[in-house]
Structure 1
Amino acid sequence: MDVLKVLNIEQKYQADNGETTAIKDISFSVEKGEFISIVGPSGCGKSTLLSIISGLLKPTGGEVYVNGMLVNGVSSHIGYMLQKDNLLDWRTIYKNVLFGLEIRKIKTPENVARAEELLKTYGLYEFRNNYPSQLSGGMRQRTALIRTLAINPDILLLDEAFSALDYQTRLNVTDDVYRILKQEKVTTVMVTHDIPESISMSDKIIILTQRPAEIKEIVEIDFELPHRTPLTCRNSPKFSKYFDHLWKELSVHE
């Protein structure tokens, strides 16, 4: 079943020199539990597309549906993670995780219990009384993810969510995040400029053209691994073939 449907999305902006088209006729769908990456040249409109999906930005044309319902404004079914973890330094890890529930006014005993269970399952419960400044970059990002998952979203949007981390931390965190998202069966759409990251984490990769962004190709990713993780994917012989293909498709636009 399609959790997300993006139909004929178009985005235009008024500029001093006339109208500019940023996104042109983009359509795709995402099934429950799928992990989709969106890649494309810098400035082509990847983050704009995520903002439209989230309901933060109204498109000039086209529609977005989540669970068959039209997105019209910010959707409670969608969680959003940005490059910065945006943890509140004056709140403990536990209180940071509960922050989303408070903002959405859904801090029920059941939802608090779920948040605590997520902290326990993913190794942060013993750090619940610590403050963000006392955590490593990887643990902070895991906290931000748990805070987002605590609101129980049907879809998670990741906008360059790991790009602020150093290379080694980034590899560990992507493995961590992938495991959590697959275990929780969260449908994910990620924008990234990192080709290896997109290949190692995704079930499909959507390649966008230069602005105005259109879909050039949707690449199916299948490593045929029984217990796939981003790290095992990077060691697969198939990895370099996917990389060469994406590199070639993206280099055409540079």
Structure 2
Amino acid sequence: MYDVLEIHNIGMKYQSLDGEINALEDINFSVRDGEFLSIVGPSGCGKSTLLSIISGLLPATKGRVLLNGEKINGASRKIGYMLQKDHLFDWRTIYKNVLLGLEIQKNVSPKAKDHALAMLKTYGLDEFRNAYPSQLSGGMRQRVALIRTLVTDPRILLLDEAFSALDYQTRLAVNDDIYAIIKKENKTAILVTHDISESIAMSDRVVVLSKRPGTVKNTYQIRLSCDHRTPLSSREAPEFRHYFQDIWKELDVHV
């Protein structure tokens, strides 16, 4: 397994009304092909800013991001971005929403349309393809948002607090759904989350950032003794609570 994404010495400073803010400082880590990696850290430590830099939407003050050994300069079609809100258009059908990314890329070919329909069928949404977002549950809408991202065939999938708008029970179910889809599609994923349990349950590794300026404080390789691992079954593994306690302490949650 090789490193598909490399983050080298990333730093980010920006101007505010109170002067210059040092948001990120000397961020270094890599992501292996097919890996699911989570990033956690205190509020305001620059987690979402880091994702924007990785996606190419925001230029870093210093450092570089490499995808398959090539420096990312600007937005890349090889990187898909899934946000906290699903951003489905209420006036478009589910099928038309799924095609949106392809339309933006000017890549709506018959083959691409067939692929979109196949993904809706594979992931249990075919019967809703002519429905509208308002007719779907929150969990189903997130599945649609993921399929819309995956149908463009990105190499890396970025998830920025992608489940935080859901209620707790729905969130647990969607964790399982999204995890299964990502693994089936063999995608490399990076999840930013404030939920320690979610990061452990879904990830192969968890990167912990410090308070601002955010830098890598520690990295945890997640090894859980459960067969046929899913996010839900991961929470029942005996090692789970130990990882939770260690990461909780790293985050200095009482400070």
Report the TM-score range of the alignment, normalised by the length of the smaller protein: over 0.9
Are residues 1:92 and 2:93 paired?
yes
Q: Name the structure 1 match of 2:223.
A: 222
Q: Deviations over 1:101-158 (max 9, x none)?
A: 0011111222222111111110001110000000000000000000000000000000
| 2:158 is aligned with 1:157 | yes
Map 1:146-185 → 2, pairs under 5 A: 146-185=147-186
User: Could you tell me which residue of structure 2 aligns to residue 76 of structure 1?
Assistant: 77
1:251 aligned counterpart, secondary structure: coil
CA distance in 2, matches of 1:13, 1:87: 31
4+ residue runs over 6 A deviation: none
Contact 1:3 1:32 in 2 (8 A): yes
Give how far 1:60 is off. 0.4
- Does the CA contact (< 8 Å) of 2:80 and 2:149 recur in 1? yes
After superposition, where does 1:233-248 map in structure 2 within 5 Å? Answer: 233-248=234-249
Distance 1:16 1:248 in 2: 33
Q: What secondary structure does 1:90 align onto?
A: coil
Task: Name the amino acid aligned to 2:38.
Answer: S
Aligned residue number for residue 129 of structure 1: 130
The unaligned stretches of length 5 or more in structure 1 are: none
What's the TM-score, normalizing by structure 1?
Answer: 0.97
1:133/1:17 CA distance change after superposition, 3 Å: closer
Is residue 41–residue 253 contact of structure 1 (8 Å, CA) maintained in 2? no
Q: Which runs of 5+ in 2 are unaligned?
A: none
Counterpart CA distance in 2 for 1:224 and 1:80 is: 31
Please list, as runs of the form range in 1=range in 2, the aligned pairs for 1:185-196 lying within 5 A after superposition. Answer: 185-196=186-197
Once the two structures are overlaid, the 10-residue window that deviates more, 118-127 or 217-226, is 217-226
1:208 matched residue in structure 2 = 209
Q: Secondary structure at the match of 2:15?
A: strand
1:193-223 alpha-carbon deviations (Å, 9 max, x no partner):
0010000000000000000011000100011
TM-score, normalising length: structure 2? 0.97
Matches within 5 A, 1:42-61: 42-61=43-62
The whole-number CA distance in structure 2 between the counterparts of 1:253 and 1:217 is 18
Tell me the matched-pair count.
Answer: 254
Q: Which amino acid aligns with 1:173?
A: V
Cα distance in 1, alignment partners of residues 147 and 190 from structure 2: 17
| RMSD, aligned α-carbons | 1.1
C-alpha displacement of 1:251: 2.0
Once the 2 structures are TM-superposed, how far is the Cα of residue 20 of structure 1 from its aligned partner?
2.2
Alpha-carbon separation, structure 2, partners of 1:3 and 1:224? 27
**Equivalent position SS for 2:4:** strand
Distance 1:187 1:237 in 2: 26
- Aligned partner of 1:145 in structure 2 is 146
Match of 1:109 in 2: 110
Counterpart CA distance in 2 for 1:213 and 1:71 is 21
